[in-house]
Amino acid sequence: MPSSLPARDSELVQIIDAALLDAEWRSGEWLICKPGCTPCCIGVFAIDQLDVVRLRDGLAKLDANDSDRAARVRDRAQRSWDRIKSKFPGDSDTGLLGGDDQAAEAFENFADFEPCPALDPGTGTCDLYASRPVTCRVFGPPVRSESGLGVCELCYHGASADEIVACEMKLEEANALQTELVEELASSGRTGKTIVTFALAHSR
């Protein structure tokens, strides 16, 4: 379903990027994320429709500037989807994840070792970095969720619990705007969550 990227998505990205820079400054050497470090690029995760539209917009721009690279992303996405779709815990035609407890439980162990199709296996970098989902943008620094404060398992070694809390990424403003933009898309018929692989494999 074609859809244009909400105008305020660029504002959301700026807010998140500023929050990340602030968390990086407070974290210092505890935060070791860098290009080529790819454990966070392995395994699927749910994305909302705002992420879907942003990813597809980024792929379209990449297609205009480097069609060969974009074709490689699409090929990786299609091959990945072919590998995992038979066990997809949702509707494999629409790519929407199931919303019941059984689907949520199945998703916990679904495609844990599947690399993200946006990841260039040769360089270890993201071909759609500027258009990456919010989950990717906030991964690394301490981020609060319903289950508590989570960090990348490779980072913050030697930091105390209080020191980790002091590095928490401040996302209240970003979360509020993200919710607003997701609801804006929902009003035009784009609802539900999917995964990066489906979004990119079905980008046309």
DSSP three-state, residue 68? helix
Read off the pTM. Answer: 0.94
Q: Which secondary-structure segment (H or E) carries 90? A: strand 90-91
Give the tens place of pLDDT for each residue, 12-27: 999 999 999 999 999 9
And the tokens for 107?
A: 């998703």
Per-residue pLDDT of the chain (204 residues; tens, 9 = 90+): 456 899 999 999 999 999 999 999 999 999 999 989 999 999 999 999 999 999 999 999 999 999 999 999 999 999 999 999 999 999 999 999 999 999 999 999 999 999 999 999 999 999 999 999 999 999 999 999 888 899 999 999 999 999 999 999 999 999 999 999 999 999 999 999 999 999 999 997
Is the separation of the CB atoms in 84 and 111 below 8 Å? yes
DSSP three-state, residue 49? helix
The number of residues making up the chain comes to 204
User: How does 20-54 read in b/e, with b if 16+ C-beta sit within 10 Å?
Assistant: beebbebbeebbeeeeeebebbeebbbbbbbbbbb
Count of C-beta atoms within a 10 Å radius of residue 84:
16
